[in-house]
Structure 1
Amino acid sequence: MKSIPNIRIIQLIDSLEPGGAERMAVSYANGLFDKIDFSGLVATRKEGALKEQLLPKVSYLFINKQGRFGLKSVLTLRAFLKTNKVNIIHAHGTSFFTAVLVKITLPTIKIIWHDHHGNRLSKKGITNKVLKAVSIFFNGVLTVNTEIEQWAKNNLITKKVAYFPNFISSTNTKVESKTILKGCDGKRIVFLANLKEPKNHLQILKAFAHSNSIELGWTLHLIGKDFNDDYSNELRAFIAANKLYNLVFIYDSCNDIEFILNQSNIGVLGSTFEGFPVTLLEYGKSNLAVISTNVGYCSTIIQDGINGVLFNPNDPMEIEQKLNGLIGSEAKRIQYATTLYTQVMKKYSDKAIIDKYLEWLL
């Protein structure tokens, strides 16, 4: 698709700390920069490592919003939109509220809201009530799976709703390769997820500790934001109690993800709920054999026994069994990794999704 004139879009996101919605905001901004007249990204509340992954030609602003309304930051955003003649705000996750506040002061702006919440259907109370009320301001809604798509059609006022799968970016960003994983080459398991619920790290640790991984020399590497709270303290306590100091490593948030994955052999995802995890796509792009939770749309990406392995996230014995099967067969690891790579690059690349996205906008 050739560049489309008169479309000027910003991605709006509350934080640039590594996470699924945050990575997609960056990927949309990067993927659009040579397709439309203007592509930008605005972080509302917090900057983070993903800022480094923005292409130089993508305009960037941090408005440092404080409190619920943050009127000063809203006016800063309004001025940025007017200066750059932006006509569409693509608001990711909870940033929709800031987008609505801006639209009240700038009625001509259009809002596309992108719901990344894998557990939207079970959420109750004020969050969904506010969302339903302000959806009158939305010009369209994107969702990360068909279940959330149906929920949006049934509950939100706007009727332009579509499911768009997450995707991986083909653009090369200059991120310094500096994270060297410990352990032996050819025997590394990586778990890419922030250390918080519902990522389910403890169940993965339990399965790893009782699997054949240890006696076969495999190591487990936890990559993600460490909030140094009760959640991560429980993980450290388990590592200490089971003497896994030289086998399980916590690295905190890292920006050189591609470099990290290139040092790894198996990628694991253990969440108790997910929407459409970008992590699985990143594993696939890096030719990893994948062992994944069977929740949300994970089974759409991973077909058990074909391009990876699926498990019940609440059953550490099943996780252990599936992990044993994967580490015990190099042939299976190669087969799964090769098949997943081919499928990811064909179905979930930015080249496949961005053009469809622009057609949907028009």
Structure 2
Amino acid sequence: MRVLQLIDSLEAGGAERMAVNFANALSEHIDRSYLCTTRAEGLLKDTIVPTVGYLFLNKHSTYDIKAYRRFIKFIKTEQIDIVHAHSTSFFLGTLAKLVSPKLTLVWHDHYGNSEMLAKRPYKVLQWCSGYFDWVYCVNENLQTWVKTHLKCKQVFYLTNFVDVLGVKDEETRLKGQDGKRIVCLANLRPQKDHITLLRAFKQIKHMHPDWSLHLVGKDFDDDYAQNLRTFIVAEGLIEQVFLYGSCKGVGYILKQCTIGVLSSRSEGLPLALLEYGLGALAVVATNVGDCKKVIVDAQHGQLVQAEDAEALSKAIQVFINDFEYRTDCAKVLHAFVKQHYSKSVVIERVCEDYQKGVVAYE
């Protein structure tokens, strides 16, 4: 069995990291595992293991005929059996299916705005969905939406997973004091709502000036990012809040931190949340998407409502003020993530699905 993971870029986003995770993990279980990025490479290219076959199409537009022909040729030459298309790469996967009807096409829905599905555009996706053999969704809201709006009848929930976090890459050394760092792993996008986190941290600063906040994620140099930088300067936070952009070595970054935070307005199942758990951090997150399936109670961490800076600030300060509770939560969450969101559990399920196809669900 030969399976290709298809993704539009290798920037350090959640869907991109999962595509790489799948390609790497599957290389240990199937005849050959491949990964193709269509539009852009990025930091994640360095995390692809040598046993994964790799293709970069450098596609310049939706209808880039040259890139399309390269992709079809690669599929035929490498005798690919299954294309597992992640997020917005479904269109190219559909074109491949049209040329090779025997090709199995799986679509993986990582849509992050799962709290705002009423506004999701889907006309092209709906047409393509008639060619999907089955669909994986990263949370149950997405599963319900896909069943309602798309043509594919085989739609299943599949949790994200995390692998061991390597700490050898010591490229990014964080500022601030050891034992007093709060980290947010999230690209600078509006749905991640960093401004609420900054407002919460502004309250924390007055009570705990020795603690610092570290924002790690791609800076798109747009109005959203500029507004964050303006707020940091205007509120006198430049000595406590630090922006790093996209970084390698997530494991090493988390090793330097004590509390992990997500302040999102909307999520699917955030990979960062699982990484916080695997990295043994105490966690505060907003109650969106499937975060409640990871932070299931107060023993696992703190859940607050989205867009509530005061509640977010209070939850973080609970951990700052109570070392024993903070330590216990980190241990419980670490064990929970290892048990329920491990590579072995998810990959075993996916390999069975690949082998049996839709027959497995009849």
Normalised by the length of structure 1, the TM-score is 0.94
Q: What is the rounded CA distance, in whole Å, between the counterparts of 2:148 and 2:225 in structure 1?
A: 38
1:93 corresponds in structure 2 to 87
Match for residue 214 of structure 2 among 204, 208, 221? 221
SS at match of 2:196: helix
Aligned to 2:315: 322
CA–CA separation in structure 1 for the residues paired with 2:295 and 2:87: 25
Contact 1:212 1:324 in 2 (8 A): no
Partner of 1:299: 292
Conserved? CA contact 1:91–1:111, under 8 Å? yes
Q: Which residue of 1 aligns with 2:245?
A: 252
- Quote the Cα distance in structure 2 between the aligned partners of 1:71 and 1:280: 39
Q: CA deviation at 1:65?
A: 0.9
1:3 — aligned with what? none
* Shift in alpha-carbon separation, 1:304–1:211, aligned structure 2, 3 A: farther
Superposed CA RMSD in Å reads 1.6
Distance 1:138 1:263, change over 3 A: same
Code of the aligned partner of 2:52: V
The equivalent residue for 1:135 is 129
When structure 1 is superposed on structure 2, of 204-213 and 344-353 the one drifting more is 204-213
**1:312 & 1:217 partners in 2: Cα distance?**
26
**Gaps spanning 5+ residues in structure 1: where?**
1-6
Secondary structure, aligned partner of 2:307: coil
1:241 aligned residue: 234
Residues 171 and 304 of structure 1, relative CA distance in 2, 3 Å threshold: closer
SS at match of 1:183: coil
What letter corresponds to residue 343 of structure 2 in structure 1? D
Take 1:291 and 1:150, find their aligned partners in 2: how far apart are those partners? 27
Deviates more, 1:25-34 or 1:215-224: 215-224
Equivalent position amino acid for 2:13 in 1: G
Q: Which residue of 152, 159, 181 corresponds with 2:174?
A: 181
**Residues paired across the two proteins, number:** 355
Q: Which moved more, 1:78-87 or 1:101-110?
A: 101-110
The code of the aligned residue for 1:130 comes to: V
Structure 1 residue 120 displacement after superposition: 4.7
The alpha-carbon distance between structure 1 residues 269 and 121, as it changes in their structure 2 partners (threshold 3 A), is closer
Q: Partner of 1:344 in structure 2?
A: 337
Shift of 1:184: 0.5
**Is the CA contact (8 Å cut-off) linking 1:30 and 1:171 kept in structure 2?**
no
Bigger CA drift: 291-300 or 302-311? 302-311
1:75 matched to 2:35 = no
In structure 1, the residue matched to 2:41 is 47
Displacement of 1:320 after TM fit?
1.3
CA distances 1:88-112 after superposition (whole Å, capped 9, x unpaired): 0000000000111122222221110
Whole-angstrom distance in 2 between the partners of 1:238 and 1:331: 33
Q: Offset at 1:170?
A: 3.5
Equivalent of residue 287 in structure 1, options 272, 280, 286: 280
The aligned residue for residue 113 of structure 2 is 119
SS class of match (1:251): strand
| TM-aligned CA deviation for residue 18 of structure 1 | 0.4
Cα distance, 1:309 vs. partner?
A: 0.4
1:204 is paired with a residue whose SS is: helix
Query: In structure 2, what is the equivalent of residue 106 of structure 1?
Result: 100
1:4 aligned residue: none
Residues 75 and 121 (structure 1 numbering): CA distance in 2 closer, same or farther, change over 3 Å? Answer: farther
- Aligned residues of 2:115 and 2:289 also touching (Cα < 8 A): no
Q: CA deviation at 1:358?
A: 1.3
**Greater shift in the superposed pair: 295-304 or 11-20:** 295-304
**CA offsets 1:33-61 (integer angstroms, 9 cap, x no match):** 01001101000001000111111111111
Q: Is the 8 A contact 1:75 1:102 kept in 2?
A: no
Query: Which of 159, 182, 187 matches 1:194?
Result: 187
Aligned residue in 2 for 1:151: 145
SS in 2 for 1:91: strand
* Matched AA of 2:84: H
Distance 1:148 1:24, change over 3 A: same
In structure 1, how many angstroms separate the alpha carbons of the residues matched to 2:327 and 2:206? 18
Aligned residue type for 2:237:
L
The percent of aligned pairs where both chains have the same amino acid is 43
In 1, Cα distance between equivalents of 2:168 and 2:7: 21
SS of the aligned residue for 1:36 comes to: coil
Structure-1 separation of matches of 2:233 and 2:220: 19
For 1:77, give the aligned amino acid: F
1:70 to partner: Cα distance: 1.4
